[in-house]
A and B are shown apart, each in its own frame.
Chain A
């Protein structure tokens, strides 16, 4: 099927190149050509380009299976995970790769999403604040509604790839906006019956222009999220919670 269709096609890759640490280096687009193989992904291509054409090419991959979120980049204008992007999905055989906007550039296609996410976690305190610190690990666990557990897992599937941040117009205009990833995580803890924070606590963190009231609802986060997370639903939920909050 597709294997025969795509075999031997020559693909053209336009790749953003810039090494911020190299004195005098300027950002540029560089064209590479490579023969397509069956089942080829952007991950496979970039590795082949590095091995055979330019050993200095910088990019990030870890799991190469759509699980870890390392390899988000902008492919033909859309931010997405490169590891699971099949080249056969581009009928013209021309693919442009750019680094994710909104993050510190390390070099070429590599950006520092890790630093961003750690800072966000520290700023919004994105961890469980337990009701009680003295839960006994030797005793039976505290029961939890199966529906609640399933719901939490659904919201927890974020891989911190940064796509929602780079696809968010508000975030691009307002540096301090927490973005969909921050709100999704807060919503996850807000829903967790084990978390001791109150609506008021959450209000202080996101009840403002940097949080739920800054979102312009342009849907970039939800449209591009590789995990299909319900970002808008959660933002709307938090917004309603914040609006109804009475202190």
Chain B
């Protein structure tokens, strides 16, 4: 058995994983990253639109701050998020943006003076302040009160990933490429590392670390049509699940993005609508104002996706061989804008649709996009069940997104989460010693080896490719945008049938080294379990919250369901996960559950809401009028971030209003 040990082991070389690795290395720790592919190919590269951070540089972002970013995030989550985490995140996002500028990201910058933008289908002239010239720009995104999404044209993920990977290379952080983690080594209480297989040679290795951070992204590929890269298969979540101990959070919270192209499901950024693009139906009618007169195309993603589906169900979709779709119209933005700020979108339209989006409408429909659920962690990113197991980014349920993520908050989560959790990971590595139990490691390696032997020599008859297709169809048909009990039950029982069949996979190609069929088989067995956590969680949750929309339970039920679904798989022979629930405490919230701002307010209220609102009103009046927003916030809901990240964020408005009343002191520590 080949044993490789390090201090900080990171699985996944996307933005979140690399950022944690950098934080470890900065502390002088031995750091090692495992990746299926070269780091710069990670799915983070596909993020187009941008990253939210309340810099407040632009005229449309003026007045923005952590409080507003926090409120938007909590509302966007449909009150499903961890408000402490949302606070930690909103506080550190501007720091992450500025850090990335220092690492080389060429953020799109502000040009002073007037410029024309499209707002609500009309050309409007806005004037940027002289003082803002050269500072980082921001565009509009859905569900936010201010223009807050920092960007580099529509290749933000690419720019960020390249800068962060370059930083990692400059720090000499090794990335073991073409290596796939297949099991977490643990003793039921403590995580010791992973068993991984080299995808080129087939070699099995035990990687042992003081800390193990899973940053493997989401599980979009359990669905048939997804905007995700084909490597986003939920294996990180599956590994945690297969420990039998670690729990996953809110797996049923799966977001559909409104505008993926038909039929292949490649994303066109929310920036298209943020910059002024419109949605049209088969008659060319702009329908979103009919449903959401206030927010229109820029309502939250889950809302727009549902409205589009509703509209197509009314027969207003455009017929195509792949089913109905709608149109995304960015022609009104003008060619120059499309060719500069939306050029990736333009390339995708040209290459996959053969159309020119500056002249023609883009065929789109809602498509699986983001996994809010993942490996449950505490605020420091550590899994509560397995000490030393951390998770970050889309792989995790750190839970700043709750049941619906706002656009621009995922790219932000990767680097902000990585920045914060990276420090906690480094702390953990410094506070704990390396425990190497070679017998334990060997037992996990043996188990994976037996699994591979069984696939190659066991005489099974099932095809991994067939099982995958079946699973993806079930998820698409029964666990989609709108859900109901009958279909969800069907999904659960059909997936259970697949899980049983997956125990009888047999391979045609018997190579033990590079063997794509073996890779597929090892993955699909795990993916079906992940799919079951989604379907079972959705079947059990008899309410509608964020992206989880039950036709048979249309109300958001704060009284019974203000909680987080936890799934675990203690009995490896079982056909379903075990579900339990973690309550959210209204009495500790800064922002008690309220109306989210879409459609009719039909929520079933929580009995504590009123009580907490009164308590907050009392705290504020007790503080008096002299208290600033930091003091108010701290009195309502104190939160912690690592010391180095505690200083306040400076904003342009601090300087602009030198003689005004809103001057905020910079550089003080948040208590």
Contact = CB atoms under 8 A, between A and B. Distances in A.
Interface in A190-221: 192, 194-195
Interface string A32-72: 00000011010000000011000111101111111111100
A153 B106 contact: yes
Give the residue among A61, A63, A107, A156 with the most B Cβ atoms within 10 A: A63
Given A21-B513, A118-B175, A69 B136 contact: no
Interface in A87-127: 106-107, 110, 113-115, 117-118, 121-122, 125-127
B511 interface: yes
A77 interface: no
B311 interface: no
B164 to A, nearest CB: 10
Contacts of A2: 354
Interface string B192-221: 000000001100000000000000000000
A127 B647 contact: no
A148 B517 CA distance: 47
Contacts of B321: 3, 38
Contact of B177 (A86, A115, A140): A115
B104 A127 contact: yes
Contact of A128 (B38, B97, B103, B263): B103
Given A107-B514, A143-B109, A153-B108, A67 B40 contact: no
A25 B271 CA distance: 50
Contacts of A84: 351-352
B170 interface: yes
Contacts of A160: 38, 40
A150 B41 contact: no
Interface stretch (A130-138, A167-175, A229-237, A238-246): A130-138
B101 A141 contact: yes
A56 B652 contact: no
Interface stretch (B151-159, B291-299, B523-531, B558-566): B151-159
B637 interface: no
Nearest to B419: A137
B504 interface: no
A139 interface: yes
Nearest to A19: B514
Contacts of A117: 38, 40
A121 B347 contact: no
Contacts of B167: 127
Interface in B630-668: 647-652, 655, 666-667
Given A57-B516, A138-B650, 19 more contacts: A3-B321, A38-B321, A55-B516, A58-B516, A62-B231, A63-B43, A66-B347, A114-B40, A125-B170, A135-B98, A137-B99, A138-B98, A141-B98, A141-B101, A143-B134, A144-B109, A146-B109, A153-B155, A192-B104
27 contacts: A2-B354, A21-B200, A22-B511, A39-B264, A41-B352, A58-B516, A62-B230, A63-B45, A66-B347, A106-B200, A114-B37, A115-B177, A121-B166, A125-B170, A127-B167, A127-B169, A138-B649, A139-B650, A140-B135, A143-B133, A143-B135, A144-B134, A145-B109, A146-B110, A146-B111, A146-B137, A150-B153
